[in-house]
Structure 1
Amino acid sequence: MTSSNNKAASIYEGTNINAWGSFENIEETKLFHPIQIGSWSLRNRIAMAPMTRCFANNETGVVGADVVEYYRKRAADGIGLIITEGIVISPRAKGNPGVPGIYTQAQVDSWKPVTEAVHKEGGTIIAQIWHVGRMSHHEIIGGQMPQAPSAIAA
């Protein structure tokens, strides 16, 4: 942090302090302490935001061992709360190839090993349910027309 044009950098120049406080004491911040949110007991306040992975079987929307391992690794790395990628709630909710679903029993069952793996690593996981509405395309949803809450174009 030596740029004279960067006022934020110059404030901390020559010190071991950044905007978080002392580098030596960063583990003492509330970020790394457990927190209770409703019925959830999180091991820390670090959350992983949802990111579309497109790792599911494109035809069935079922997730496999690669998805189990993907989320397990994040929990093993210490993430307190993992929010899954968008999980579509109906066949017409799909906006990308390879997105997972949660509208068939096979899809629900495929998420159970993911949840179990995250819990085994001490993490908490919640599903982001998803419907892309008008942003879908008939080629992605088997020739059907996209479904949206209104006829107004996006």
Structure 2
Amino acid sequence: MGIQTGNYLTPQRLNTRSVRARRTNTLSLSSGAVTAISFDAEDFDNSSMFAATSTIITLPIGGLWGFAAGGVFASNGTGLRRLLVDVNGSGTYPWIDSRSAVSGDNTAITLSDTHVAAAGDQLQLFAHQNSGGALNLLAGVRFSAWLIEF
């Protein structure tokens, strides 16, 4: 895949494919477990990239894709909180954002980057915490992807 050159705006370049999935309720996370986040709502999806109650966003065409995720963990002053993104079920998590727990306040994490994808690549968002006990990932977690260039 090469980035297109020139100052040409074509219908293909303007037809940005994008999706944003959202979780509408809390998710209890066991301490030390890496947990796939299931989503139950879509804010938009103009290329059928997400199926309701799924954990996966499927990128329909190859190209340079942007993605972003954000979530808030319930207040607890012990350990770390992480959001992790996996590609095609590899279990290697090439993108991770980690924050120390915040005592007396919720811990918010955002993560964004780009991925050079092949058609059919699947992105999946995971959460991890190690507080020593169960901890909630609060409602409102979002996971989105958008085509930058094909």
What TM-score does the superposition give when structure 1 sets the normalisation length? 0.26
**TM-score between the two structures when normalised by the length of structure 2:** 0.27
Pair member with larger Rg: 1
Highest relative contact order (Cα 8 Å, sep 6+), 1 or 2? 2
| Structure with the largest fraction of strand | 2
